[in-house]
Structure 1
Amino acid sequence: MKPDTPIRRPEEIELKLALPTSKPSSLARQLARTHPLARRKETHQHLHDIYYDTPDQLLRQKHIALRLRRIGSDEKPQWLQTLKTGGRSHSGLSRRGEWEASVPGAELALSVLKSTPWSAFDPDGTVFRALAPCFETSFERTSWSVRRRDGSLIEVALDLGHITVGEKTASICELELELLRGHAAALFDLAQQISRSIAVLPVNMSKAERGYALAQGSLDAPLNAQPLELTNDLSLPAAAQRVLREMFCQFTANLNAIRSSDDSEVIHQARVGWRRFKSALRLFKPALEAQELPSWQALELLLDFLGEVRDLDVALHDTLPPLAEVYTAGDTRRTESWAAMTQALRHSASLQRKSVRYALQEPAVGASLLAITQWLDGLSSQAGAGGVDQEVPLRRWARQRIAHLHKQLRAARNDTSSPDSQHRVRILAKRMRYSSEALRDLLPKKRTEQWLQQATNMQTSLGAARDVMQASVLVAKLEADRGLAEFLRGIAVERSRRG
């Protein structure tokens, strides 16, 4: 291969999947036995990548990645220089600009960047001269080339290794399906075949993004809801796709973080992501009437486990600590009872986290997540489907939908006399808040802020009583001091009355 010769087309379409397994060493053998890869020749490479950026991480800010890759041994290495730009990445599926060329050695070459977008980004070479290594990856790649009957060509690559930033390291255990020829649907079809026997998780972070996060100490940090940009010229299906993708990405990103993080906020944000996603499905129902939603029945056990962990976390970190002194009041026996109860709840929370991680290793879970990702990818192409009146501007539609939700909430809050009615108000308050936040760009600012505040206040006040009642249920299950559970139940009843 001649130096400075471009070898890649300018777009990379790739489906990236994390592999939540406790035995990564056996993955290559497992993959080789799957139906789409059986009897196909596999190749093995050792890859070492060096990623570059400026001291102020200008490339990261511009969603640009620049790396040098060494392929093979130290004695006879081959060097490739790769530039990747922006693009779209949604819960595993990414579309990015990519320019890759061979270079003579272990140094960046400005000359091979001249025919890429780098020339417009850095016309005088100032940025290039400021570049320095910022992190490295080293991994073993096992790959298969899959030619399908529809004419598509896909490279399947299993990467096992680690990312290194100074003294910090993070593991790499992922599967990349890159489309070399054909349509993106072929990636999902192949991934679904693999997911029948191997657990996968759509992952939204590239190796470069993980390297930056590792350097900043934010790898596997909880992902909160992200701001959305919605404009009046979007079709309703396109707006639905944009909103639903962000929410589903919040869910899957936090699922990936759960694999190695015990942070209670990661569990919380995973549940928030899923609830926002379900709320948005109701919000955009007019745009989705003609679409058959993928089944998420395989996710139900995982979702139940997440709920149980969240209830335990709320009890341990939020609900119970302020009540400890009220209950114990300096009494030794009560103090000991409270401490034993707290320790038992911590043990239960630890066991439930393990249950979540075991659930993520079920192939059916990954297959369900993949199906939703594929459904979202094709959503915007359904403009005009389902009887949606495309003559109605998106802004008007959004205001009508939020006004309708507010009317429902206002009617429901007139009756909070029973636990069931309080629960309904709380659910409606959440839907109102999630929907208003998602459509904020299209709504009147002042009124939206007022309605958001009202919904948040209702959710908080009703949630406090529910959390104490839930804590009393959890304590009762522990067969702890009966008086302790009764104490919590009494607090919950009193707060419910005040709510």
Structure 2
Amino acid sequence: MLPESYAMSQEIELKLTICQEAVSAFRQLSVLNVVESQRFELSNTYFDTQDQQLTRSGAALRIRRFGQKYIQTLKTRGQNIGGLHQRNEWEFPISGPTLDFSLFPSDSPTAELDESDVNPLFQTNFVRERWLLNFQSSQIEVVLDSGRVEAGESTDPISELELELKQGSLIDLFDLASLISSEVAVMPSDMSKAERGYRLVAQQTDFEVALPNIAPQQSMESAFCALFGYELERLQRGWQVFWSTHQWRHLQGFLNTLGNMEAEIEWFQGLLPTEQIRFVHEQLDWMTKAIQPILSWWPACFELSQDAEQEPKTVAVSLQQSKAQKAIKALDALRMNPELGHRMLSLTAWLHSSGWHTGQSAEHRHLAETPVVDGIDFSFDRAFRNIDSDCFAGSASHALSQSPAVHRLLMLCHYFDHLYGEQLGHLRAPLEAMNDSLSRLSAMDVVARLKDWLNELPQEQQASVHSWARSQPVLLRDIKRLANKLVRGREHLSGGAI
């Protein structure tokens, strides 16, 4: 329902993407059948300056047309963790499709802008179905949006749900989302229609999530919440961006992020009861086992060849296409499996409700309150001890066995090196170089096993690949040198804070 006068409020909503193939099943959910739905068309025009000052400040400005009515809305970035959005917004009716800056408060993000510099950037046009539910002890608005984001000739489909808490408890909001996700294929999403429009305008195929700034005296528990939320956002965003771009690297990033979250549970296990650790591992393990076999179907990782359905010209192309087709079918099946989104939502609800408080002992609570600069030392020590430098003097397979340990130590440096000043700075370079070298070594190892594929390449290309692969001993030597440098760096830190 549109407001009749100016209003400022805090919006709390959970955004979910839904497969178009699952929309019919969603509409048949028994929880929706207790009320009549409303259906209407919405058209939104988003505005900004040429250099996108509003976007850069975390604000979104739009005019929505609803039948013959217009409403002007300004939203701030607010807080967004795992698909749950909490932000300030100003909205009020206007007489037509033209912005009226005089209605904005003096402290709004538009205060420093000249109205003449603000112009339309893109539109979102969609059909909205709305249900207002009394669920448990709360009132929750459920909307289904279907349509398109349009920026010039570029478009992106809209198929999403929004669950907005009108009054009541956050627990009820997540309970309703859990009920929906147990039967329908949905996924938590932190990407608004506005952001998708800006991505189209910029032709952006990558994404960024800001790393939390962990302060030295911040508690272990708050550091855990910030970092786990950071990785959860990366997980959800990587999945959504893959389906927009079909770039395979985002799926590989999805798998890497699952590993990062496993590592975080290990680092902060001292404040987490065993039952809570088991719960998180169950969710992460299921997702890892679902996605890992798909990623192992090399060379489908050649960007999921856009020519997968065309007639192959060579045996090598035929192999690539068959692998890509198999991967695409498996991914479609996973996207339509409600359990993927249900487990992702379970982690989001667990994070927001501080689910680890259940079963915490006095010892758990003591560590939870410990400053992170004191409590994280044991994780660095364990990460160093998990690297077996002897493996780097052996075969490629022995060196590659150390990849997870190197990646985890690099993660710790990435998260916390600013807490230790210059003490970790000189370790970052050899760690990053080693991580990169192990990645190249892994690629060489894969190519060495693809003899049939290599034999189908032209002679000149075969010679180039073989020449590259023969540099493996040199690469192993470099990795060993970096390992020795890392060990010396660790010895140098033995008397320090770590």
Please tell me the TM-score bracket, short chain as reference: 0.7 to 0.9
Q: Specify the code of the residue in structure 2 equivalent to 1:136.
A: Q
Larger deviation, residues 91-100 vs 155-164: 91-100
1:365 is aligned, of 332, 340, 343, to: 340
How far apart are the structure 1 equivalents of 2:144 and 2:79? 22
**Does residue 356 in structure 1 map to residue 331 in structure 2?**
yes
Q: Is the alpha carbon distance of 1:381 and 1:347 closer, same or farther for their aligned partners in structure 2, counting shifts above 3 Å? A: closer
Q: Is the alpha carbon distance of 1:339 and 1:193 closer, same or farther for their aligned partners in structure 2, counting shifts above 3 Å? A: same
Q: Which residue of 2 aligns with 1:344?
A: 319
Q: Which residue of 2 aligns with 1:53?
A: 48
How far apart are the structure 2 equivalents of 1:2 and 1:261? 35
Residue by residue, what CA displacement relative to the aligned partner does 1:63-88 show, whole Å, maximum 9, x if unpaired? 1111111112xxxx121111211211
How far apart are the structure 1 equivalents of 2:363 and 2:147? 45
How far apart are the structure 1 equivalents of 2:45 and 2:301? 40
1:91 Cα deviation from its structure 2 partner: 2.7
Residue by residue, what CA displacement relative to the aligned partner does 1:150-186 show, whole Å, maximum 9, x if unpaired? x211110000011111222211110111110112222
1:287 is aligned, of 268, 271, 276, to: 271
Alignment of 1:224-239 (within 5 A): 226-239=210-223
Number of corresponding residues: 458
How far apart are the structure 2 equivalents of 1:309 and 1:421? 22
How far apart are the structure 1 equivalents of 2:368 and 2:295? 39
Q: Which residue of 2 aligns with 1:431?
A: 408
Equivalent position SS for 1:177: strand
Alignment of 1:126-137 (within 5 A): 126-137=113-124
Q: Contact 1:139 / 1:159 at 8 angstroms: preserved in 2? A: yes
Larger deviation, residues 58-67 vs 347-356: 347-356
1:71 is aligned, of 66, 74, 93, to: 66
Q: Which residue of 2 aligns with 1:327?
A: none
Equivalent position SS for 1:135: strand
Alignment of 1:148-163 (within 5 A): 148-149=135-136, 151-163=137-149
Q: Contact 1:305 / 1:356 at 8 angstroms: preserved in 2? A: no
Q: Contact 1:237 / 1:380 at 8 angstroms: preserved in 2? A: no
Residue by residue, what CA displacement relative to the aligned partner does 1:98-145 show, whole Å, maximum 9, x if unpaired? 22222222222334323xxx535444x644443221111110001111
Equivalent position SS for 2:98: coil
**Does residue 202 in structure 1 map to residue 178 in structure 2?**
no
1:286 Cα deviation from its structure 2 partner: 2.0
Q: Specify the code of the residue in structure 2 equivalent to 1:78.
A: K
**Does residue 452 in structure 1 map to residue 428 in structure 2?**
yes
1:35 is aligned, of 7, 10, 30, to: 30
Q: Specify the code of the residue in structure 1 equivalent to 2:420.
A: L
5+ residue gaps in structure 2?
306-312, 480-498
Q: Is the alpha carbon distance of 1:2 and 1:388 closer, same or farther for their aligned partners in structure 2, counting shifts above 3 Å? A: closer
Q: Contact 2:271 / 2:368 at 8 angstroms: preserved in 1? A: no
1:440 is aligned, of 409, 417, 428, to: 417
How far apart are the structure 2 equivalents of 1:50 and 1:155? 23
Equivalent position SS for 2:223: helix
**Does residue 184 in structure 1 map to residue 170 in structure 2?**
yes
Q: Which residue of 2 aligns with 1:302?
A: 290
5+ residue gaps in structure 1?
318-337
Q: Contact 1:92 / 1:202 at 8 angstroms: preserved in 2? A: yes
1:349 Cα deviation from its structure 2 partner: 2.9
How far apart are the structure 2 equivalents of 1:396 and 1:359? 42
**Does residue 313 in structure 1 map to residue 309 in structure 2?**
no
Q: Contact 2:221 / 2:368 at 8 angstroms: preserved in 1? A: no
1:342 Cα deviation from its structure 2 partner: 4.9
Q: Which residue of 1 aligns with 2:57?
A: 62
Alignment of 1:442-481 (within 5 A): 442-444=419-421, 446-473=422-449
Q: Which residue of 1 aligns with 2:83?
A: 92
How far apart are the structure 2 equivalents of 1:349 and 1:83? 43
How far apart are the structure 2 equivalents of 1:32 and 1:313? 36
How far apart are the structure 1 equivalents of 2:2 and 2:294? 53
How far apart are the structure 2 equivalents of 1:273 and 1:300? 10
TM-score, with length taken from structure 1: 0.81
Equivalent position SS for 2:424: helix
1:476 Cα deviation from its structure 2 partner: 6.4
Q: Specify the code of the residue in structure 1 equivalent to 2:175.
A: D
Q: Is the alpha carbon distance of 1:178 and 1:66 closer, same or farther for their aligned partners in structure 2, counting shifts above 3 Å? A: same
Q: Contact 1:146 / 1:155 at 8 angstroms: preserved in 2? A: yes
**Does residue 174 in structure 1 map to residue 160 in structure 2?**
yes
Q: Contact 2:187 / 2:344 at 8 angstroms: preserved in 1? A: yes
Q: Contact 1:17 / 1:201 at 8 angstroms: preserved in 2? A: yes
Residue by residue, what CA displacement relative to the aligned partner does 1:198-233 show, whole Å, maximum 9, x if unpaired? 111111111111111111101xx2335643311123
How far apart are the structure 2 equivalents of 1:257 and 1:370? 18
1:95 Cα deviation from its structure 2 partner: 0.5
Q: Contact 1:240 / 1:287 at 8 angstroms: preserved in 2? A: no
Q: Contact 2:140 / 2:167 at 8 angstroms: preserved in 1? A: yes
Residue by residue, what CA displacement relative to the aligned partner does 1:423-446 show, whole Å, maximum 9, x if unpaired? 4422110110112112233233x3
RMSD: 3.4
**Does residue 146 in structure 1 map to residue 133 in structure 2?**
yes
How far apart are the structure 1 equivalents of 2:442 and 2:113? 58
How far apart are the structure 2 equivalents of 1:492 and 1:356? 35
Q: Is the alpha carbon distance of 1:138 and 1:63 closer, same or farther for their aligned partners in structure 2, counting shifts above 3 Å? A: same
Equivalent position SS for 1:198: coil
How far apart are the structure 2 equivalents of 1:310 and 1:250? 24
How far apart are the structure 2 equivalents of 1:36 and 1:254? 31
Alignment of 1:207-222 (within 5 A): 207-218=193-204, 221-222=205-206
TM-score, with length taken from structure 2: 0.81
Q: Which residue of 1 aligns with 2:16?
A: 17
How far apart are the structure 2 equivalents of 1:146 and 1:3? 20
Q: Specify the code of the residue in structure 2 equivalent to 1:437.
A: H
**Does residue 107 in structure 1 map to residue 98 in structure 2?**
yes
1:396 is aligned, of 348, 355, 374, to: 374
Q: Is the alpha carbon distance of 1:41 and 1:234 closer, same or farther for their aligned partners in structure 2, counting shifts above 3 Å? A: same
